[in-house]
Amino acid sequence: MAAVTSAASLCPATGGLSPSSPFGRKASSSSNHRRLQLQAATVCHCRPARVEVLDRREALLSIALAAAAPALVPANALAAEATEELQEGFSKYEDEANKFSIDVPQGWLIGAGESSGIKSVTAFYPEQTPDSNVSVAITGIGPDFTSLKSFGDVDSFAEGLVNGLDRSWQRPPGLAAKLIDSRAANGLYYVEYTLQNPGERRRHILSAIGMAFNGWYNRLYTVTGQYIDDDESEKYRAQIEKAVRSFRLT
């Protein structure tokens, strides 16, 4: 794993997350029609902190882990404030520091933090059903990755991702992963599949994968929308699909 530098994660001028606090949030507080901002747009002259970047195998693993593990949804997360109203029931969430935007169902909670091997994780979820959620995970990757094509075309990428997760062939059987659909659009790879551990309910996964350069290193964005395949969670399917499709690098 090669080391590169970035000031974004620790710089106080940009409102970066503190290493001592696993979750944090910054947002406008007065108007429901202002844009949410995770971090202030302040020019920083701090010395960059060291950030680990991933090679191809590790990058694929990080995508798989983002899907296989539940999203980070802290109990003390605050409700996302309505920002720029789009279609009825949705608002645009913008992260100026990490350069992405996503449409979020109004009233959903939001949590942000860091995890081992992942530079940033932001999760959105309904308070009543946290198993249904959308998360955005960002990891640093090596300079040899110039575009998503570095992982192959979308079909081979999707097959490799899902096959890498599937353990249904083991004895006794492990996690069962099944690919449903894959396509490329808007400069992103979209992958739809299901995951089911033995004896557990099946999870439906909608992912969008993107890449961008922040001036120091390449970053891999993994957007993961998930819900349980049952009557209770099915009502969130349309909201999760719209949120994942709305993700854009800015």
Q: What is the pLDDT of residues 115-140, one digit of tens each?
A: 655 678 999 999 888 889 999 999 98
Q: What is the pLDDT of residues 33-63, one digit of tens each?
A: 334 433 333 333 333 344 455 555 566 556 6
If one looks up domain 113-222+234-249 in CATH, what number appears?
3.40.1000.10
Q: Work out the angle at residue 195's Cα, subtended by the Cα atoms of residues 194 and 197, and round it to the nearest 5 degrees.
A: 150
Q: What is the pLDDT of residues 58-78, one digit of tens each?
A: 665 566 656 555 544 444 444
Q: Pick from 124, 156, 152: which is nearest to 137 by CA?
A: 124
Q: Does the pLDDT of residue 199 top 90, yes or no?
A: yes
Where do the domains of the chain lie?
Answer: 113-222+234-249
Three-state DSSP class for residue 53? strand
Give the bridge partners for 185, in sequence order. Answer: 188
Q: What is the pLDDT of residues 20-34, one digit of tens each?
A: 333 334 333 333 333
